[in-house]
Amino acid sequence: MEFLVWILLLVAAMWVFQLYFAVKQSQRFSNDIREIRTAGTLTTVGMGGKRYRGGRAFVALAAKDGVVTGAKVLSGFTVYAKSVPLDVVVGKKLTDLVDGVGVEGQKPKVVEATKHAAKTLIDQNAQM
């Protein structure tokens, strides 16, 4: 019985550490989004990929007048993944990104996340 208690305590401790690292990753990505937010008037995050098949990718886009002014991508399988600049889309029109133009050569989940973010920015801009 005592062995089972120790196993459950170990699992609980690992779960707490995982939650802690997930929160830290979220805070880092939020700070990275804050950096690109100053470059544009609208900012959003798109998500692409499957949770258990290759992981997800998150693309943050900042845009002004329908043109991307800043972009970051967060992609990785662990909580240690860090966001990196996605310079290939900076200067591209949002309408082109929705069609997948300008993101050729990127991973499919990054392309999907970029399309999602660009579509969201177009929708936000239409509501203004």
For 90, phi then psi, to 5°, come to: -65, 130
Domain layout of the chain by residue ranges: 2-127
- 8-12, 50-54, 58-62, 81-85: which has the minimum mean pLDDT? 50-54
pLDDT (mean) for 15-21:
94
Contact yes or no for 122/98 (Cβ under 8 A): yes
Task: Classify the phi-psi angles of 65: left when phi > 0, otherwise alpha if psi is within -120 to 50, otherwise beta.
Answer: left
pLDDT of residue 115: 93
Q: Does the domain made of 2-127 have the CATH classification 1.10.10? A: no
DSSP string for residues in 77-114: SSTT--EEE-GGGTT-BHHHHHTTTT-TTS-HHHHHHH
Residue 128 has pLDDT above 60, yes or no: no
pTM: 0.83
